Amino acid sequence: MKLPFFRTSVVLLTAAFSVAAQADVYPSKPITVIVCYSPGGSNDMIARTVSEELSKRLGQPVMVENAAGAAGTIGAAKAIRSPADGYTLLLGSGSEISIAKLTTPSVKYDGQKDLAPITMIGTQPMILVGAPGTAPKNTAELLAYAKANPDKLSFASSGVGTPLHLSGELIKQKAKISMEHVPYKGAGPMLTDLLGNQIPLAITVLSSSLQHVKAGKLKAYGVTEPRRAAVLPDVPALAETKGLEGLDMSIWWGFFAPLKTPDAIVQRLNKELVEVLKTPSVVQKLTESGVVLSVRGPKDFAKFVDGETSKYRQIVQAANIRTE
């Protein structure tokens, strides 16, 4: 009769010890990754692809939480407010980390100062595309046309204050041309109007118009990164055209943690994430959806974010972009 009781106590004691022991080792409970946009978008896809593999490496579930709304700022603010214990991470991108603060006075946080960068994942170029009926054949002709016909051209983007809009403004500023900005709600309606010749130009994320460019249904003027995209080697970089030298804009993604997260945890996560981003299946999935891997550790990533933010600041100030 005594034996079962003894056994139970031993089991309970062992259990108690192992819990105590686990509490010291990170991670001892599930980790949440906040995504600032709805399920189905590229941020969500990246977070889910990486989390699955990260979870295997850390031995704890890594769950994706979509906190969408207010152009991504709700999710970012939520991550900043979360306890800095390494159990809440943020998959951030340029919009909510760098641009929001510059264009929107009501955004209270500062993506540069209130978050600890962990690992940068990569970038995706944007592309300037033309409707089938848009006459100029290449970027040089397009710029000449715009100069000869001021206020004739319009360009579509997926909203005010998006990296796409900022790229358009930068093209205008560098080439000293004028084009009307026509904002859309997302890439879908924008491509409909473009394919139907309703609007002459659009700036899209490369992956949204890739199929149409490959199928020859859209004119591709150039990508916004200084080097050509591997998936479209025949399409020049906009920076190759006279007047647009040095043009360098991209969408980028990376993991962040709340500011005061212990350095040891940040380093550990970075180490694991770097490994995750070498896993063939992850690399394949990300590459297929248009992400160009560009892995950087915490220090490099912070420097990158600083550089991007000051670039955006110039564009926003020169074009006087303001949202609320």
Partner 1 sequence: MELLNNLAIGFSTALSMTNLLYCFFGVLLGTLIGVLPGLGAVATIAMLLPATFSLPPVSSLIMLAGIYYGAQYGGSTTAILVNLPGESSSVVTALDGYKMACQGRAGAALTTSAVGSFVAGSLATLLIAMFATPLSAFALAFGPPEYFSLMVLGLVASVVLAHGSLLKAICMIILGLLLGLVGTDVNSGLSRFTFEQPQIAEGISFVAVAMGLFGIGEIVRNLEHEAGGARTAGIPRVGSLMPTRDEIRRIIAPIFRGTALGSILGILPGGGAMLASFASYSLEKKLSPHPETFGNGAIEGVAGPESANNAGAQTSFIPMLTLGIPSNAVMALMAGAMIMQGIQPGPSVMVEQPALFWGMVTSMWIGNIMLVILNLPLIGIWVRLLAVPYHLLFPVIIVICGIGAFSVSNSVFDIHLMAAFGVLGYVFFKLECEPAPLLLGFILGPMMEEYLRRAMLLSRGDFTVFLTRPISATLLALSAAALALVVLPAFRKTREEAFHEED
Binding site for partner 1 (CB under 8 A): 38-42, 44-45, 48, 64-71, 73-74, 77, 103, 106, 151, 154, 159-161, 180, 182-185, 188-189, 191-193, 195-196, 198-199, 207-208, 210-212, 214-215, 217, 285, 288-289, 321-324
CB nearer partner 1, residue 180 or residue 245: 180
Which of 174, 285 has the CB closer to partner 1?
285
Min separation Cβ 164 and partner 1, Å: 13
- Length of the chain equals 324
CB 298 within 8 A of CB 286: no
Burial class (CB in 10 A: 0-12, 13-18, 19+), 317: exposed
Q: Which is nearer to partner 1, 86 or 200 (CB)?
A: 200
Closest CA to 194 of 212, 215, 167: 212
**Which CB atom, from 170 or from 239, has the smaller least distance to partner 1?**
170
Q: Looking at beta carbons only, is 285 or 296 nearer to partner 1?
A: 285
The nearest distance, CB 133 to partner 1, in angstroms, is: 12
The number of angstroms, rounded, from the C-alpha of 82 to the middle of its chain's C-alpha atoms is 21
- C-alpha–C-alpha distance, residues 167 and 226, integer Å: 13
Q: Residues 6 or more apart from 213 whose CB is under 8 A from it?
A: 127, 129, 220, 232, 235
Q: Measured from the CB of residue 307, what is the shortest distance to partner 1 in angstroms?
A: 25
Q: For the CB of residue 299, give the shortest distance to partner 1 in the complex, in Å.
A: 32
Shortest CB 246 distance to partner 1, Å: 27
CB of 65 to partner 1, least distance (A): 7
Report the residue number, 160 or 295, with the smaller CB distance to partner 1: 160
Integer Cα distance of 165 and 108 in angstroms: 22
Q: Which residue do the tokens 């809440």 mark?
A: 88
Under DSSP, the state recorded for 85 is S
